[in-house]
Amino acid sequence: MKIHLEPKLSSCPDKLRCPVCQQAFDVSRMRSLLLNDRGLIQGDICPECVRLTSDEIRVMMADHARLMLEQPKLYAYLPYPEEVAMELFEASLEEVKFPSPYHWLVKTIESRFLNPAEDQTTIQALSQMH
């Protein structure tokens, strides 16, 4: 698995559910997408889970996969909890690769200028430059 950084698009919901901890969180300007080794998106990782180690992420995903299989009614918000559980468990077997600090910095700077409508201070700063 790897964490892929992408700027938040206007079509992205304001709240998403983390595939690691299963908690809903507010999406920031920079999305941290968790992709499995086949390149399939597992979901957006919340800011708290991005700080975890690869092993911690893998254990939490495997634990949630087991819980989904044992108690699918807890995951009634998912259309097919058994399928999601199997995907989570399969992904939990993969080592997590994190972006380099340089990549985090570049993507964070890009996100400031790709979605300036979300940041009034950026709009004001850009308008003063002309």
Residue-wise pLDDT for 22-81, tens only, equals 999 999 888 999 999 999 999 999 999 999 999 999 999 999 999 999 998 888 888 888
Chain-centroid distance, C-alpha 116: 21
The region that residue 22 occupies, defined by phi over 0 for left and psi between -120 and 50 for alpha, beta otherwise, is left
pTM here is 0.77
Every domain of the chain and the residues it spans: 2-98
